[in-house]
Chains A and B, each alone.
Chain A
Amino acid sequence: MCGIVGLYLKNPELRDRLGAFFSPMLEQMTDRGPDSAGVAIYRDTEISAGEGKVILYHTDPDFDWDGIAQAAADDLGVDVTAERVSTHAILRATIDAGAMRRWIESNRPKLRIMSSGAILEIYKEVGLPADVLTRFGVPQATGSHAVGHTRMATESAVTTEGAHPFNTGDDLCLVHNGSLSNHHRMRNWLREQAGIAFQTDNDSEVAAGYLTWRLGQGATIAEALEAAIADLDGFYTFAVGTRDGFSVLRDPIACKPAVMAETDDWVAMASEFRALAQLPGVDSATVWEPEPATVYSWGHA
């Protein structure tokens, strides 16, 4: 079982309170997933063209991130800085995040890449959601939207790698409640035919890779999710973040729960309503259950 949540702020004036609104949502989903938790935060920062960041993870809390930044800077010929955030680090450079990601995949293949993009930051760890939120300073986070996941592992080990959200390309992230049945074949196809790199054997990472491939083909996220209804087999409720958008999709059988709420200020989704019950203005929000096999999108998704 898993809990998933997503929050997209329609009112830009609320962006300094993204983490404050979002953290109680994730914490409410502890009963659905006490093993590990992960969050994807879309920062509200001005980005200049060609600027990117990659979030990395290492089990050693004293890992030499400055050394990695220096090696990347030497090879790529740009300034690269490293900022340690608990077991993670943010590598920033005036270079496309994809180029930095490819450098790490080629030169430091043992480093775990949590995310790459211009504004996306993904943090995930084992432990109770409340502890994970505190560890990465999520309650203080600012930004436009956030997506989160609490995991109760049923088919694979409780590890940081198995935690969601998954990112396989620039600024896209996906959280998943459910299980996919054609992920093995789809992973091979995406790897061999589309050049998508995967870091785990997790089925949900395949869904992220599939969307990354579709977006690379020029699809909008709404079009990519429409195509996913035909191509991905299994049970799923997906919440997906893109640079400036937020989307939700349930499989045609709709076994996995989802509830949504929207006001003039925000739109939010969660596995259960109680995750939304603390949001300001929820009493007057429009609350509904997303229809099966129907794509819901906000922002420039």
Chain B
Amino acid sequence: MDVIDLSQTDVRDLNRRLQGAKDGGFQVLHPGGEHALAAGLTTPVAVTIDGHAGYYCAGMNQEAQITVNGNAGTGVAENMMSGTVRVRGDASQSAGATAHGGLLVIEGDASARCAISLKGGDVVVGGSVGHMAAFMAQAGRLVVLGDVGADLGDSLYEAQIYVRGSVVSLGADCVEKEMTAEHKTELAALLEQAGLEADAGAFRCYGSERQLYHFNIDNAGSY
């Protein structure tokens, strides 16, 4: 395990070392809320950040296993392609934005626009999420064990949403769907992968009503 202390060096040096490693483990000390920590990793390294991270932590991640023992700022794991990012505390807005693959686990709460424009990744939140979660999400899954703020899944495409708690309101074209046995099976597997204990049967399922993103020839005259 290599230890990199950000009170002794800077973020550029940290990321250069992480991006240059093929495998192995790294512990990052004194992150101090700095931005872009462990961003752009492309190999299966394991990185533990002991403290709070700033914006875009673990951005564009591929294959790396990144854990934040603290909170994460705006855009944690944004545009992740693969790998796993785990935030032990809370995450700020736009967590997991546009993630194409991989798994983002937030053990605490996430604020506004969680999983915005999700493109195939999985985002699992142990606590609650703020407003406009999964806005325009195209593919992938958002799972929330707590409650959800206003306008969940507004302008949703084909992403799947599972919520155990309450939902303030659904956004345009987002509807509750039947929680099938298949849904329960895939959700139980995802929860296990995320390491969060919850009964898959206690969740509701939400998805797109497919009225908004399908062109309707009857409306041609309106354009």
Contact = CB atoms under 8 A, between A and B. Distances in A.
A277 B130 contact: no
Interface stretch (A59-67, A236-244, A284-292): A284-292
Interface in B70-105: 71, 73-74, 89-90, 92-93
B147 interface: no
- Size category of the B interface is 10 to 19
B209 interface: no
A288 B112 contact: no
Contact of B54 (A254, A274, A291, A292): A274
A257 interface: yes
Contact of B92 (A259, A275, A277, A291): A259
Interface in A248-293: 253-254, 257, 259, 272-278, 283, 287-289, 291-292
Nearest to A273: B33
B34 A257 contact: no
Interface in B12-35: 32-35
Contact of A257 (B52, B71, B74, B89): B74
Interface string A195-232: 00000000000000000000000000000000000000
A231 B93 CA distance: 25
B130 A272 contact: no
B42 interface: no
Given A257-B74, A257-B92, A292-B130, A277 B112 contact: no
B160 interface: no
B125 to A, nearest CB: 14
Q: Does more than half of chain A's interface fall in helix, strand or loop, or is it mixed? A: loop
A292 B90 contact: no
B131 interface: yes
A274 B37 CA distance: 13
Contacts of A287: 52, 71, 89-90
Q: Which of B33, B51, B130 has the most CB of A within 10 A?
A: B33
B111 interface: yes
A146 to B, nearest CB: 20
Given A273-B52, A274-B54, A277-B52, A289 B111 contact: yes
A247 B111 CA distance: 20
B130 to A, nearest CB: 7
B112 A273 contact: no
Given A287-B52, A289-B90, A292-B131, A274 B33 contact: yes
Interface of B: 32-35, 51-52, 54-55, 71, 73-74, 89-90, 92-93, 111-112, 130-131
Pairs A-B, 6 closest by C-beta atoms: A274-B33, A273-B33, A277-B32, A277-B33, A289-B111, A273-B52
12 contacts: A253-B112, A254-B111, A254-B130, A257-B74, A259-B73, A273-B52, A273-B71, A274-B35, A276-B33, A287-B90, A289-B90, A292-B130
